[in-house]
């Protein structure tokens, strides 16, 4: 499928220059671009690449001299990455799932699937499930009894939607994600070592040999609108009430969300982030890759945590954090600087000590 430059510009709400009738078939990095590609050069550093490639149309930074760059047509992106969102959405062919419900699927007769659905092979949909219109459900997906999913869902290969899970509109679920596994909640007959050290901050009395009994998860998971869940990510059910994920929140691959956790709206939880049971996370929180959040704590709105930050205590709104344990970013930088110099400092002090001892 090809697109006119003028149409792309119109769709993006962007301006174009040159011949709006130029047709492109896809997008490319400037140096790899063929004559059918829209070269993506939203920053002057890509100018050289344009010369190496064969594109005649490009998306350029504001004010670029498109004719000097050898283009016949150009789209101008005042905010390049935002334009990328619109452009990639236009050009994405999406997954190949045939319309209708594949014959080799097992759909409970009481399930309601909205109009316009495309359901691939080896899908199971349980009793009482309700799915909104225009759902695209790839192969090997399972949607268990009583789940409710809003309109325009895209659920990719092998994703698992658990019983009684509720999901809003425009849901995107990457392959292998598990939404609604049982929470990890166990109890010993008498006080466990973990309970003890939480009270004593590390001291232990006699250690008892005990086994763990399971606390079942009666709650489910509630997910808002415009949520995306990454590949092989896991969200556990709540114990009594639901675990919740707010509107507009995005979870990356291999993220772990424990039971009873509440995540607010418009958050980004990057690859391999882990949030322990009953933690609460505000709105617009960004947790970079491999961050960890302790159980039962609260992360305020607009908190940003750098890579692998481990948050053990409540974090106030707006704080920028880093480290294990997490501290303010600037504190972390200071501490690390001082720690880098510490071996030399300690050696110097030891040297001085010797002098003092002698004198």
Under 8 Å between Cβ of 43 and 80: yes
Candidates 273, 244, 274; CA nearest to 260 is 244
- Scan residues 251-310 and list those touching a second copy (CB under 8 A): 252-254, 256, 258, 265-266, 268, 270-272, 274, 276, 283-284, 286, 288-290, 292, 294, 302, 304, 307-308, 310
- Longest CA pairwise span in the chain (Å): 94
Backbone angles phi, psi at 351, to 5 degrees: -60, -50
Please indicate whether residue 259 is annotated as part of the active site.
yes
- Scan residues 128-147 and list those touching a second copy (CB under 8 A): 138-140, 142, 144-145
Taking CB under 8 A as the rule, does residue 156 contact a second copy? yes
- DSSP secondary structure code for residue 315 in this structure: B
Gap between the Cα atoms of 297 and 292, Å rounded? 11
Under 8 Å between Cβ of 277 and 260: yes
State the minimum distance, in angstroms, from the CB of residue 99 to a second copy: 15
Task: Write each residue from 98 to 117 as x if it is in contact with a second copy (CB under 8 A), else as -, in one continuous string.
Answer: ----x-x-x-----------
CA trace torsion 134, 140, 146, 147 (10° rounding): -50
Which one of 23, 47, 54, 163 is in contact with a second copy (CB under 8 A)?
163
Taking CB under 8 A as the rule, does residue 81 contact a second copy? yes
Taking CB under 8 A as the rule, does residue 34 contact a second copy? no
State the minimum distance, in angstroms, from the CB of residue 242 to a second copy: 10
| Close Cβ partners of 196 (under 8 Å, ≥ 6 residues apart) | 204, 205
For a second copy, the closer CB: 139 or 148: 139
Under 8 Å between Cβ of 256 and 242: no
For a second copy, the closer CB: 114 or 247: 247
Taking CB under 8 A as the rule, does residue 182 contact a second copy? yes
Beta strand extents in 5-119 (DSSP E only) = 15-18, 23-24, 26-28, 37-41, 57-60, 73-76, 100-101, 106-107, 112-113, 118-119
Q: Using DSSP bridges, classify how beta strands 37-41 and 57-60 pair: parallel, antiparallel or unpaired.
A: parallel
For a second copy, the closer CB: 66 or 332: 332
- Scan residues 320-349 and list those touching a second copy (CB under 8 A): 320, 323-325, 327-331, 333-343, 345-346, 349
Task: Write each residue from 187 to 226 as x if it is in contact with a second copy (CB under 8 A), else as -, in one continuous string.
Answer: xxxx-xxx--x---xx-x--x-xxxxxxxxxx-------x
Taking CB under 8 A as the rule, does residue 158 contact a second copy? yes
Check 102, 216, 256, 259 and give the catalytic one.
259
Which one of 178, 221, 245, 263 is in contact with a second copy (CB under 8 A)?
178
Taking CB under 8 A as the rule, does residue 36 contact a second copy? no
Candidates 191, 310, 308, 166; CA nearest to 246 is 166
Tokens of 169: 């509109």
- Tell whether omega for the bond before 192 is within 30 degrees of 0, i.e. cis: no
- Scan residues 222-251 and list those touching a second copy (CB under 8 A): 226, 228, 230-232, 234, 236, 239-241, 248, 250
Taking CB under 8 A as the rule, does residue 45 contact a second copy? no
Give catalytic residues, as residue numbers. Answer: 259
């Amino acid at each position: 499928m090809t697109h006119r430059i003028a149409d792309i510009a119109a769709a993006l709400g962007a301006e174009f220059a040159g011949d709006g009738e130029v047709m492109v078939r896809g997008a490319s990095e400037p140096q790899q671009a063929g004559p059918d590609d829209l070269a993506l050069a939203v920053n002057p550093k890509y100018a050289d690449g344009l010369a190496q490639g064969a594109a005649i149309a490009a998306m350029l930074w504001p004010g670029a001299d498109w004719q000097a760059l050898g283009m016949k047509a150009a789209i101008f992106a005042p905010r390049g990455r935002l334009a990328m969102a619109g452009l990639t959405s236009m050009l994405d062919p999406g997954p190949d799932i045939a319309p209708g419900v594949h014959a080799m699927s097992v759909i409970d007769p009481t399930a309601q699937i909205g109009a316009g659905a495309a359901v691939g092979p080896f899908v199971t949909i349980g009793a009482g499930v309700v799915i909104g219109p225009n759902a695209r459900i790839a192969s090997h997906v399972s949607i268990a009894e009583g789940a409710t999913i809003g309109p325009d869902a895209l659920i990719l290969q092998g994703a698992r939607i658990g019983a009684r899970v509720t999901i809003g509109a425009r849901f995107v679920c990457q392959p292998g994600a598990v939404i609604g596994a049982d929470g990890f909640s166990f109890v010993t007959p008498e006080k466990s070592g973990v309970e003890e050290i939480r009270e004593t901050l590390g001291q232990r009395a006699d250690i008892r040999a005990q086994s763990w009994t399971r606390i079942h998860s009666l709650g489910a998971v509630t997910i808002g609108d415009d949520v995306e869940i990454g590949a092989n990510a896991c969200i556990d059910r709540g114990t009594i009430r639901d675990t919740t994920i707010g509107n507009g929140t995005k979870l990356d691959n291999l993220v772990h969300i424990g039971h009873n956790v509440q995540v607010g709206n418009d958050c980004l939880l990057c690859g391999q982030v882990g949030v322990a049971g009953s933690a609460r996370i505000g709105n617009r929180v960004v947790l970079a890759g491999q961050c960890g959040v302790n159980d039962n704590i609260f992360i305020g709105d607009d908190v940003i945590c750098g890579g692998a930050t481990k948050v053990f205590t409540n974090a106030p709104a707006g704080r920028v954090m880093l480290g294990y344990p997490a501290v303010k970013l600037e504190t972390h930088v200071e501490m690390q600087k001082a720690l880098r110099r510490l071996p030399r400092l300690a050696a110097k002090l030891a040297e001085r000590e010797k002098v003092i001892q002698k004198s």
